[in-house]
Amino acid sequence: MDYAERLENVAVIGAAGKMGSGIVLLLAMEMADVGLKAGNGSRHRVLHAVDVSHQALGGLVKYLREQVQKAAEKRIVALRTVYADRADLVDNGDIVRQYVNDVLDVVRPTTTLEVAAEANIIFEAAPEDLSLKLKLFARTATDNPARPWVFTNTSSIPIQEIDEKARLGGRVMGFHFYNPPAVQKLVELIRSRTTTDEVGAFAEALCKNLRKIVVPSADRAGFIGNGHFMRDLLHAVEEAGRLRAGMPFVEAVYCVNRVSQDFLVRPMGIFQLVDYVGLDVCQCILAVMNPRIPGENLHSPLIDRLLEQGVRGGQNHDGSQKDGFLQYQQGKPSGVYDPDAKRYLAFTEFQAACDARLGPLPEPGLPWKVAVRDPARETLLAQFFGALRSMDTAGAELARRYGARSRDIGLKLVSDEVAHNAHDVNQVLLTGFFHAYGPINEFFA
């Protein structure tokens, strides 16, 4: 079965979720593109988009229609060539509409899990819960005589464990998209000891066609991305705990969040990132990593406590940010949650005092947006962090500790052989987390 044949029948489980909907979008477009290529046109292609609720699947279709239209508008120059033989499609508008139809024609939204059993490939994007994933595989892939290939979007569970427990015989591989899959360039590919070369080669070909940047990760819980992120967040929680000796909880959270953004030239503060990912998702990932990585205590009682109080983060259906560690107004952080008072305190009540305590940013300032766009960013960053090194302020001190810890985490991922090298670690943070520089750098050496 070649690449085009393999893509004739595909299933995505968890299709209406945040990750699943993006995966459906990318796969449906790739399947339609393969179908539109000369010689493949007559073949029937099916993508089973499986999820638990019709309501969520309705949202998926709406999302797909909007996103495929945007993609078609962006690719209009190439699409006019693709449809050059269709005399009935003249205007750009005709071509965009046809492409949207061609892509949507591939997708079959369904709540019936068993249809996935007829697919050649199953992409799994269910919640990060091994027992749930195993149940899903048991009904679709395990002991299936058609021997479908399984690509799991897990961001933390070792693939070898999935393979053994679901009895997939090397037909499974980690295919970790970043959120949102349609936008983020990075894919972490994780082969287990038993993943077959055929499966691996297909995954690489697919990534290439999706124009993704591939970073291979060793099959260790958390892989590279969460291997860094979870330890980074635990450091942030620890720092906030340390600061709490001298200030209220909300101020400590504010300070660490601000330092991890403005002083470290990152796209968002660490607690905002946790909110974006979702506290529940972070909890699940930590629960996977902690027992599998002994001696590090990868666990946060604070996150457990917030979740018990219903503080979850994540996004609403329209993509807007839900409140988590922080409160949001029009997408921007505006307050911090106080678990003792069980309510949010507005930034305005303490921001000025905290900023004064942290001290000024290094001069000249370097907002993340400027850094990532400037071709001379290395020089700007060296200048900024050079100034930061010599500053004797609470903000600079926190930033130095934070940057050094981030670097140590990165180095440990290399020495533990989770990543092949420093470049791979940096690549994940640069492309998967949009950092302006990799954690393994000379700025915090």
**Cβ of residue 182: shortest distance to another protein, in angstroms?**
18
Distance CA 54, CA 373 (A): 42
Peptide bond into 301 cis (omega under 30): no
**Cβ of residue 77: shortest distance to another protein, in angstroms?**
5
Distance CA 143, CA 164 (A): 12
**Cβ of residue 67: shortest distance to another protein, in angstroms?**
15
**Cβ of residue 159: shortest distance to another protein, in angstroms?**
36
Distance CA 313, CA 316 (A): 9
DSSP assignment of 421-440 equals: SHHHHHHHHHHHS--SS-SS
Question: Are residues 227 and 293 in contact, defined by beta-carbon separation less than 8 angstroms?
Answer: no
Nearer to another protein (CB atom), residue 93 or residue 364: 93
User: What residues make contact with another protein under the rule CB under 8 A?
Assistant: 73-74, 76-80, 87, 90-93, 96
Q: Is 291 exposed, middle or buried (0-12, 13-18, 19+ CB in 10 A)?
A: exposed
Nearer to another protein (CB atom), residue 90 or residue 353: 90
**Cβ of residue 185: shortest distance to another protein, in angstroms?**
17
**Cβ of residue 318: shortest distance to another protein, in angstroms?**
15
- DSSP code for 118: G
Nearer to another protein (CB atom), residue 87 or residue 445: 87
Nearer to another protein (CB atom), residue 96 or residue 277: 96
Nearer to another protein (CB atom), residue 94 or residue 198: 94
Query: What separation in angstroms does the CA of 317 have from each of 57, 63, 73, 77, 309?
Result: 12, 10, 24, 32, 22
**Cβ of residue 211: shortest distance to another protein, in angstroms?**
12
Nearest to 272 by CA among 301, 310, 315: 315
Nearer to another protein (CB atom), residue 78 or residue 341: 78
Question: Are residues 187 and 176 in contact, defined by beta-carbon separation less than 8 angstroms?
Answer: yes
Nearer to another protein (CB atom), residue 97 or residue 389: 97
